[in-house]
Structure 1
Amino acid sequence: MKPSEMGLVLAKCAAFDSRTIGETDVVAWHEAVGHLEFDLAMEAVSRFYANSRQRMWPVDLVETVRLVRAEHERRQRMIPRAAQRLEPNTISDPRLRAAVRQIAQAASVSRQAAPDTDEVHQRALERARTDRAVQASPPSRRTRSGPPLDLQAVTVPPAWAREEIRALLSDAALHERGRPCGRVGCANRHCATGAAEM
């Protein structure tokens, strides 16, 4: 690693332990651990301070770089070699050859059956426009599905309620279903639109 890179490694250490760094520090550290790879040293600093409250010294950097390098090599060994492409003609077992041929045909059919991305994009735009139009339309114009509303069954409050509570419950039931209650001076939006239409 170059002295300038050594300075960056020490600056990263300083970010963790608030040490002061001078030119002599960079020269001394470079003399001790300048043989290390810069990328591994930077990763080792993060790894060291993630597991220790102590200040990092050159020996700590060397040991942690050794651990990081061993972990990288272990990962490289675990990565499987790129699978060789199977050609049906190179397989001796006839059943395996037929299976490979069938998988290859299925993959080519699925690639051909995939819709064009422009077509998918266009359908998504149309769906978004219709959804936006439904949301923007006033509630009275929206289509309601299901059987017609039985207002008598909906607006009859329980028998145990007092008269003023019964009236409030009845009005609330009508408002919930988008109907005006007919009470004079009601501030509900359904009553206001109903009065404007009359």
Structure 2
Amino acid sequence: QAFPIRAGSVTLADKEGEGAASHTSRSVALEFIKTVCHVLSLDTSVEDEVQRMRRALLAQVGHREFSSISTFESPGQSFVLPDLICNHCNSCRDVDLMRDPAVTSDYPDDNWHCNNCGIRHDLDKVELKLVEHVQRRSTRYQLQDLRCTKCHKVAKRSMSQRCSSCSGNLECDDSPEEFNNDMRIMARVAQFHEFHWLQEIVENAAM
């Protein structure tokens, strides 16, 4: 048993503190329980029954009802490429590169067709837009301000460890975790869509 790998798939190995050893049939069973119970719970008329079923099923796989690992999380990530313009008909739309079935089909020849005229998009231009996005994201992270966690003022001296006004700790506005998560998403996009140039740029930008 294994998790299906899609462009936006989030597996247990992607979650902090867990590795490839988490890919067991038991983990698959747990994710299945969480997903099915979450879908069934949308019907408020059977909410109590679903809660009892969820509690019993989680006990079968050795997890408590209110533990963090038993909490449902969206199984798919998302990255929307804005303003994708067709070279043939000038149709413009936003495309989710990790969820939109028009670009994530199992059959590559069926992907990347304009939903207005049916002509295939120029993938070199798509990749260029993504490369420019990564470069802007990397530049923004590197040039960001340090901010005091206490008074929230921007640090005047970038080499200081303490705020000059209140001696509070200084932290980046954009955390390394957020930046690395963005790079992981772009790496997944590059791998799934076989954008080799983008993959190289992401590898150089990642911390």
TM-score, length basis structure 1: 0.20
Q: Which structure dedicates a bigger proportion of its chain to helix?
A: 1
Q: Which protein has the larger Cα radius of gyration, Structure 1 or Structure 2?
A: 1
The higher relative CO (CA closer than 8 Å, separation ≥ 6) is in 2
TM-score, length basis structure 2: 0.19
Q: Which structure dedicates a bigger proportion of its chain to strand?
A: 2
